[in-house]
Homo-oligomer: A and B are copies of this chain.
Amino acid sequence: MKQPKIAKNLKTARGKLGFSLSKAAEETGVSKAMLGQVERGESSPTIATLWKIAKGFHIPLSTLIDEGNINLEYSRQASERPLKFENSIGFKILFPYDKAIGTEMYLMSLEPEESHVSIPHDVGVIEDIVVIKGNMEILLDGVWTKFKTGDAIRFKADVEHGYRNMTNEIVEFHNIIHYKN
């Protein structure tokens, strides 16, 4: 696991919001000097300070601690539909998001030893997985749980979750995302 890139994520977040350090300090209740120190990597903030920042920026806390694969722009798109898995594991769109139906469906594949962790979707989003071929694990509540061909799993996608393939065969699964209308 890589060390969290707080400095970069904070700088990126602030930039995208178009906040000066002063404005950011005003919105978050964290001093301008401290925000600057964090961005320059001169200080490691406490979780309480990070929370104040995230709250003031109206972004998930995980956006600030994420490991650099997902930027704020991605996170912001999480509030819009459809959600794309760019630069991630292999997938094929089976049914694109349809507003009338409220779902989208993908055929996903995982190479051997490949894994992917998703940031949380909007509140209320439900995700279905149906394992088409192979043995895979799904990250639910911080625990990797095993599933095999034919298994069907429904879980809340508004928390962090992930998929991984610890076998040496390709895994394929259907991924259906239900958005609350």
Q: Which residues of A contact B (CB under 8 A)?
A: 1, 3-4, 6, 13, 44-51, 54-55, 59-63, 65-66, 70-78, 92, 94-95, 101-103, 105, 107, 117, 126, 128, 130, 132, 138-143, 145, 147, 150-156, 159-160, 174, 176, 178, 181
Contact = CB atoms under 8 A, between A and B. Distances in A.
A125 to B, nearest CB: 11
How many copies of the chain does the oligomer comprise?
2
A156 B92 CA distance: 23
19 contacts: A1-B60, A44-B47, A47-B47, A62-B62, A63-B142, A66-B160, A70-B141, A71-B141, A72-B140, A74-B156, A78-B130, A78-B152, A94-B128, A95-B154, A101-B126, A105-B152, A105-B176, A132-B132, A181-B181
Which of A3, A62, A150, A154 has most B Cβ within 10 Å? A62
Given A151-B76, A152-B77, A160-B66, A4 B44 contact: no
